Structure 1
Amino acid sequence: MHQRPRKGPLSFLPPAGRCTLHQCAAGRRKANHRRRTLSALDSSSSIITERLVLARHQPEDLDDCVAMWRDPAVVRLIRSTPFDASETWSRILRCVGHWEFTGFGYWTIRTRAEHRFCGEIGFAYTHRDMPPEYAGLPEFGCTLARSAWGRNIAQEATHAALDWMDQREGLQRTIAITDERNRAAMALGYSVGYVRREAIPFEGHAFALMERDGRTLSRPLEGHVAELATR
């Protein structure tokens, strides 16, 4: 990866939405049991790199995800107001459901050594309004917590996620959208094979629509992946 680490928000646009959040003590007490149950189902989609673990969302990820999405510095190039806990819980539920419906989706990013939360990364069918030639393609997204900025975590996680996606027949062609002002995200996209196709309006700003086709790249990504489980 030729680019220098950048300190600043790095966000390709994630799926968004709202729901009503009702937290209860019983649900918290069951978290460990639920994680043990889900881990048996999720092991085939986990990715381990030199420094990171990419894993499907679990109930106990909620607090870390809420903290990230309510940080104004993280969301400033996504929308004008932070996400509340209800919206973040809705996002997690959508991530879980997307895996069940499609066989791919979003992962949390954590460090291998300390299990420290770094952010979220993945792909989703978002069903946004897109130009016809890009409609229906999986959309890439990556958002980091502020504590993970400037440490090349986005690069390492992105290489691993794209390596995983490139091995799925019919899913190698993906798109991403990001604010034109987000130079860190644009640089990351270019470095892994995304090409800017056109500008599209979003939330009153010009967003870059980028496309990548893993089938046509001249060489595979320079992998950071230590272990790559497959379905």
Structure 2
Amino acid sequence: METLTGERVGLRTMTPEDAPAIFALFSDPEAMRYWSYPPYTELKQAEARLARDIAGAAESVVLPWGIEQDGTLIGTVTLHDLNLSGGRAELGYLLAKSRWGQGLAQEAVGLAIDHAFSTLGLRRLEADIDPRNLASQKLLERLGFVREGYLRERWCVAGEVTDTALYGLLAREWSSK
């Protein structure tokens, strides 16, 4: 898997040694507020995620990157449900809350989008977000995604039923924002 480099962040392959950093990211209740599953409570959940992602990358069904800044893992960007023959993938991302509001997520996600369209030759990316997550909504829209749908009561996370807003971006609409 390629390492991608931006002005302030890079995307790199994650390893089992990243488990403590992944646990720190995915166990933060505020960062995980709008995810489709609850925050991690044990390190072994991060270890299992990394093992699945590494295996999925070997099979070309997922491309998981760690977002790195100054040698520190500060988030993740993932192309999942990757369908090369169908020309599509889903996009997911998470950034440490200490790095919110600095434009780092936009840069990191932009690197992944460039790779998806230019290197992988995909024609479509999709993102599924909780419509209450206004920061994520604004990020996707700044990157050119269009809201294409709304699924009511799609998820039940820790007893809370939530909706989903579906966003899509076509390769022909992407201009390396």
Shorter chain as normaliser: what TM range? 0.7 to 0.9
The residue number in structure 2 matching 1:156 is 107
The residue number in structure 1 matching 2:54 is 96
| Structure 2 CA distance for aligned equivalents of residues 99 and 172 of structure 1 | 20
Larger gyration radius, structure 1 or structure 2: 1
| Structure 1 CA distance for aligned equivalents of residues 111 and 82 of structure 2 | 21
Please report the RMSD computed on the Cα atoms of aligned residues, expressed in angstroms.
Answer: 2.2
Change (3 A) 1:50 1:136: closer
C-alpha distance after superposition, 1:44-82 (max 9, x if no partner): x10011111210111221111101111111111115732
Contact 1:125–1:136 (Cα < 8 Å) also in 2: no
Change (3 A) 1:67 1:172: same
Aligned residue type for 2:100: W
- Bigger RCO (CA 8 Å, 6+ sep): 1
| Structure 1 CA distance for aligned equivalents of residues 88 and 27 of structure 2 | 28
C-alpha distance after superposition, 1:138-186 (max 9, x if no partner): 1100101122111111011011111111114552311110000000101
The residue number in structure 2 matching 1:115 is 71
Give TM-score scaled by structure 2 length: 0.86
C-alpha distance after superposition, 1:9-39 (max 9, x if no partner): xxxxxxxxxxxxxxxxxxxxxxxxxxxxxxx
The residue number in structure 2 matching 1:178 is 129
Contact 2:36–2:155 (Cα < 8 Å) also in 1: no
| Structure 2 CA distance for aligned equivalents of residues 91 and 80 of structure 1 | 13
The residue number in structure 1 matching 2:64 is 106
Question: Matched residue of 1:119: which SS?
Answer: strand
The residue number in structure 1 matching 2:176 is 221
Give TM-score scaled by structure 1 length: 0.67
Higher strand share: 2
State the percentage of identical aligned residues: 26
Please state how far the C-alpha of 1:137 moved relative to its aligned partner: 3.9
Q: Say whether 1:66 aligns with 2:23.
A: yes
Q: Say whether 1:209 aligns with 2:166.
A: yes
Change (3 A) 1:116 1:208: same
Change (3 A) 1:91 1:202: same
Unpaired runs of 5+ residues, structure 2, are: none
Unpaired runs of 5+ residues, structure 1, are: 1-41, 128-134, 223-231
C-alpha distance after superposition, 1:87-134 (max 9, x if no partner): 2222111211121111751100011xx31221000201189xxxxxxx
